[in-house]
Amino acid sequence: MTNPLLEKWNTPFEMPPFEQIKSAHFSEAFELALQRNQVEIDQIANQTAQATFENTLLALEGSGELLNQTASVFFNLSSSHTSPEIQEIERVMAPKLAAHSAALFLNGPLFQRIEKIHAERNNIGLDAESIRLVERYHLDFVRAGAKLKDQDRVLFAKNTERLASLFTSFSQNVLADEASFSLVLTHEEELKGLPEFVRSAAQKMAKDRGITEPNAHVITLSRSSLTPFMTFSERRDLRQKLWTAWCQRGENEGAHNNDNIMREILALRLAQAKLLGYKDFSEYALADTMAGSAKAARELLMRVWEPARLKALQEREDLKKLSGLSDLQAWDWHFWTERVRKEKFDLNEAEIKPYLQLNKLMEAMFYVAHKLFHVNFKEVTNISKYHETVTGWEVTDAHGKHVGLFLSDNFARSSKRSGAWMSTYRDPMHLKQSIRPIVVNNNNFSQGAEGKPTLLSLDDARTLFHEFGHGLHGLLSQVKYPRLSGTSVLRDFVEFPSQVYENWLMQPQILKQFTTHAETGEPMPDALLKRILDAQTFNQGFSTVEYVSSALVDLALHETTDLSQLNFKQFEADTLKTIQMPPAIGMRHRLPHFSHLFSSNSYASAYYVYMWAEVLDADGFDAFLEAGDLFAAEPANKLYEHIYSAGNRQDPMQAYVAFRGREPTVTPLLTKRGLA
């Protein structure tokens, strides 16, 4: 039988032929792809011709086509729709792929060629984008150990390979704990306080999980299932049970405990950083960011922390006063916050949610993209899909030219990891020809019952817009080189295009146009709209504290150099005590399931980036408010030219200044969160 991963795909939009791809095909495809790519690398590194930009860097940019294609399909499936077979292949392939990558960066002859080009980059007739490519490649190699000698090189490669295995194990352990937990509710007393939309979603989840008991409802550890239950359930004991299960993911006794995995990851990261001459991993991780250092990142976090902490303490007093609870706990916060919001603003989630229909909010996010960037979205139904709930949309520009394919995968399932993220099945580039991207947004919303629309919370709606901002960053890229295209930017800049896009959701013009009642079809009343807007800074102490505390724990953990006596639960407690964490608020992510930190190196010591990017997004969106038009042509054109289409073509602060006309200030962020 032929392996579809090794064939040219004559499918609409060249989508992977998912109906033909079996798990067993990946091992063969990976092995062949690795062999081919190694031959390409050897030919580039060992050629006798003098090193040039074309025969070295351009050749590298064009190499690895089969490997990139196979990896993109595999790792998207391992995140979005995994299986025991895929997980086993991932455990085998992750270290092999890491070893292959390490061998590339530690290839001495290849680095000598890159170093020569780097030294001459300003004198060989290269344009600015090509110089940027040279600089990024050179830095990539240096940060991956290319300048190490002898045994240090061997050790660095060995550590890199081991880390890949540990990242895979961590992720699979968290997913296992999430997938195995179900809070099954069958009696009316257990459902007390839950509105119809929560019950409906819970009934569908029970059906999806094969639970056939009469009146069965299931609450899972997906945020879109957990948060509504925590908000409305009058059963404090069940809220505590659910909260405890949420917090203990990755920490339960048995095969899925992540304690030793985290400990080894931290030790290997520290060893890698020291091999490269850094005092700790945090110094290494932040050297190649806009912040530049843990000190700068912490200064921003602490500038927000103190006003947020004080506001959270006041919010806690409001909850205690209304609830009468002297022992207010973390599992009480959402429940009583909803009641305080009702008291202060005559507003509650159950009143809002029927107006927040997923399909209408997708129309809204497409509308904003059209108004800002003149792109159009048309649903396509003839594409191959890896899951029946995925939808596809062809994206075209104002002249009808194909821009890319956008995939939307919105619903939670046990085969999908938690959270929300953007990824690609094909990246954009303009090397020999224009290749347009296939971009996918993954969310974990609770799907509405059959025949019923899916309803979102305001937080869900923000997540929808956030991930679509990432999606646009990938779709609109007009950068020539793959290494610089799309979202391949510095870690504390990549969240700017996604976070700035969230701002359009909460504008009266957008809410009024795209919020209609799921049952009556009536538009959202002006009075309700006003109450929603008036309440935007409500509970921002809590939401800021739960995030910033996680970011501060992350920084402190990766500045730690004595790991011998590290107890993760105690470390969390000690760090939170130092910053005077308000009682009854939990970290947004506890360490045993903190996938941002332990599923890869990407966000390790860098969870602060969301707050860093929020400084940019609050300041940047003000350009439209100052213009008096949400879609003002001048800032919209600059946002497209210097941010969404520009990838990593230039230094991110230069890109921001080119868009905004100046460097950002932190005041709009504090104002936006009600902390000024």
* Inter-helix orientation angle 150-180/84-105, to 10°: 160
- Tokens encoding 113: 């060629």
Q: Are strands 391-396 and 402-411 parallel, antiparallel or unpaired?
A: antiparallel
Nearest to 225 by CA among 203, 201, 190: 201
Nearest to 469 by CA among 617, 664, 657, 619: 617
Strand order in the sheet with 376-380: 376-380, 391-396, 402-411, 438-445, 421-426
How many angstroms separate the most distant Cα atoms in the chain? 80
Backbone angles phi, psi at 456, to 5 degrees: -115, 155
Rounded to whole angstroms, how far apart are CA atoms 86 and 78?
A: 6
Rounded to whole angstroms, how far apart are CA atoms 585 and 572?
A: 13
CA angle (180, 94, 494) in 5-degree steps: 85
Is the CB of residue 535 less than 8 Å from the CB of residue 348?
Answer: no
Residues facing residue 429 across a β-bridge:
435
> Catalytic annotation on 349?
no
**Catalytic-labelled residue, pool 161, 178, 349, 467:** 467
One-letter amino acid of 483:
R
Rounded to whole angstroms, how far apart are CA atoms 129 and 553?
A: 37
- Tokens encoding 413: 């399932």
Nearest to 127 by CA among 650, 569, 598: 650
Which residues lie below 8 Å from residue 43, measured CB to CB, with a gap of 6+?
A: none
Radius of gyration of the chain (CA): 25
Q: Which residues are catalytic?
A: 467
